[in-house]
Amino acid sequence: GQQVMQIPQYQHVQEGEDFTTYCNSSTTLSNIQWYKQRPGGHPVFLIQLVKSGEVKKQKRLTFQFGEAKKNSSLHITATQTTDVGTYFCAGREDSGGSNYKLTFGKGTLLTVNP
């Protein structure tokens, strides 16, 4: 079945440093979504990418979808303590089936030292 790998598993940075997490799927994706989970909280939707090579920005966060639609990345510029949490990617396989199931990566836990 479809697998979604995410690296790194953990990342500790000093406040102000940049951060990137990478997501790779074993199959071509129709779309990819990114979620953030604060410690003790629940996953919250950040963004969705649909088109090959798509790049979207949300303030200091930049999301990319690979040309082959099998990988994605999230880059945070100049991290802040409010960025602490686990970032998950979740993809839907481009198999022509229904769009109701996502496969989640294991997430990258980001900690920020003030």
Partner 1 sequence: NAGVTQTPKFRILKIGQSMTLQCTQDMNHNYMYWYRQDPGMGLKLIYYSVGAGITDKGEVPNGYNVSRSTTEDFPLRLELAAPSQTSVYFCASKGTGNQPQHFGDGTRLSIL
User: Total binding residues for partner 1 by CB under 8 A?
Assistant: 24
The residue among 23 and 112 lying less far from partner 1, judged by its C-beta, is 23
- 101 counts as binding partner 1 under rule CB under 8 A: yes
81 phi, psi to nearest 5 deg: -65, -25
Position among 66, 85, 91, 107 found at the interface with partner 1 (CB under 8 A): 107
- 91 counts as binding partner 1 under rule CB under 8 A: no
- 39 counts as binding partner 1 under rule CB under 8 A: no
The residue among 49 and 76 lying less far from partner 1, judged by its C-beta, is 49
Q: Which residues bind partner 1 (CB under 8 A)?
A: 6, 9, 31, 33, 35, 41-45, 48, 50, 88, 90, 92, 98-102, 104-107
